[in-house]
Amino acid sequence: MHFTILRFNQIDSTNTEAVNQAKRGAEEGLCIVARQQNAGRGRHGRIWVSEKDAGLYFSVVLRPQIEMRFLSLITLMTAVAVYETVKTFNLNPDIKWANDVHIDGKKISGILAETVETHEGLAIVVGIGINLKPSNFPPEIADTATSIESETGKPVDIEFLLGILTANFSRFYEILSQENGAENIRRMWAERSSYFEGKEVRVTFENETITGMTCGIEENGALRVKLKTGEVRVAHAGDVEQLRQIQSGL
């Protein structure tokens, strides 16, 4: 996969810029990288804190040639790529379904994938934020977030990190695009996520909240949760939290 990188000192949101570029006909592999975001976005419209040089703020335009039913696996594929990138720093990451990477239960990276209708067909914009240093954290998230520098005690060269990330992203995107790619990505995600099976969780949907034990993922990457009644519910979206961590904090 060929990457073309556009760099900004400051921007509202790398995802917003990548969406606009996709609508203007940007080819697959166009990347937006910024030193600072003024309006970085996470899932459900949440703000991604983006202080100057405190994180890697990255978005890429994709024009995937895979079946529509597997498009949601792009988020899982990206999480695997981020996992491998963070692991490079001798850390032990975990993938929290579906789009966060954690270290010891603290968030070190978030992923936001968005679909975009363009004149050239459907595009996917994937945004990745990786915390580099703890100055990225306001007090309200200081206890639930971490950074590469916090975990290693060493500063991070952002260009080195970017090179590792793009190499891993290209590798796993190619796997997803190949024959049996969806199956391989699901397996790779499962091998790297403690949320795949046996994790006691609370899932908050738009209109209800359930608790249960994770028991695998669906073909499209949706999380399966087994309730105490034995019923299996499928979470295509929603907030998933590890229940034991919630209870221990009460």
pLDDT in tens, 223-236: 999 999 999 999 99
pLDDT in the model for residue 243? 81
- Contact assessment for residue 90 and residue 154, using Cβ atoms and an 8 Å cutoff: no
Range(s) within the chain of domains with CATH label 3.30.930.10: 4-192
Dihedral class, residue 19 (left if φ above 0, else alpha if ψ from -120 to 50, else beta): alpha
Packing angle, helices 158-177 and 181-192, rounded to 10: 130
pLDDT tens digits along 152-196: 999 999 999 999 999 999 999 999 999 999 999 999 999 999 999
Structural class in CATH, domain 197-248 = mainly beta
Distance, CA of 40 to CA of 47 (rounded, Å): 6
pTM for this entry = 0.92
CATH class of this structure's domain 4-192: alpha beta
Selection from 187, 177, 188, 245 nearest residue 211 by Cα: 245
Closest by Cα among 119, 113, 151 to 134: 151
Residues of the chain with CATH 2.30.30.100: 197-248
What are the tokens at 132? 């580099």
